Structure 1
């Protein structure tokens, strides 16, 4: 089918079944990322002084957004794929998958860079001077590092999902070849029989054929040359070519004429 397979509607027939489990794993990883990002926000939420300086990076908020977006995209796509495969728009699913890859890359990359900053600050500050600030920085850095690692795994799995999805759409056979293949397997009833028999024609029913009588030409054909037509009941026979027609009340052509008798001589 080629590039048309990307804009067609319906679940690709060559889509591997194990991609469904890959989507489930991505959803689980998104749930874990959501929990870690929420924890990272809560670390400095209770401290107004520290939260103003160290809690406004924005990386946890992006991670929460990406996790929720993943729930919506993969949840809706998987539900349509399982319960309404005929309403599966491939181009819409492809665009959503590609946007998910971009957001996952941006979120886990930002989380990785922020985690390094938090760990460096925690090693710089001392507990004797700043109290529990270094511990909060380590907790924040650990949460961001966990989000970065899990986000990277989800990003790789998203790429695998998109790659095999595009491959299945491009390698899907055409509709005519798929229908013919199903007909050979007996999945499409009547297709093979109609192809073998061809178009049906009307059947002409005719009655029993009657043999023509001797001297009578078949129906629709002239009488043979030199033979008189068959006589019709109640009508005199037609004259033969070259002989005079007999008059009414006269003997036929095959009867012999009686010799005339001479009258007796009178005295």
Structure 2
């Protein structure tokens, strides 16, 4: 069903782009910077100013009655509020609630997934050259693609890329990349797309003893806020005997009528 929807939608999408001839990069560099402290960090025992990245509601708690009472305060994305880890329970307390107070504004969301210490990136999804950025500010620059044939006759395509996480939360680069972009071996503007034209993550892993092993491993590790990593992703058609000359790469939500990149696949 997923492929059927994909094929139907692709027939109406325009693809344009340039050719990339960059050589394979084997190095693996990553900038390390501090991420948002976890919910259980002592950092949150004091009042902290945060930006809301996902709508959150605080409820009014009556300490005398020991229960939630009437009253709600909802904060939308982009608002800035001051909170601390409740300590008395797994959740958050709005600033202004003093120790010993009868009424508290509380949230039982025991995580930091709804907040950011820095102002959210006011951005939009775009495609420019060989670069794609989503609406959260996570960005990828596509490197090159290489055909790889294993000893048992299976064909894979290895795509290298650099992912920069300017978003509010950690991501797994390879998962993010394959969920945001679609890789095709045919131009849907000129050809009828078949399921064998769609390249996705393979059911069987490519043998680990290859020149991209470190980059593939990096792609499967968590990438924190403000970090950048060079990765490689392995793709395969349902026709595992197929060798391709080029890939068309476009957004998976089909929001753009232009391709991200027409990339020439290197022979190996």
| TM bracket, shorter-chain basis | under 0.3
Query: Higher strand fraction: Structure 1 or Structure 2?
Result: 2
TM-score, length of structure 1 as denominator length: 0.21
Query: Higher helix fraction: Structure 1 or Structure 2?
Result: 1
TM-score, length of structure 2 as denominator length: 0.21
Say which one has the larger Rg: 1
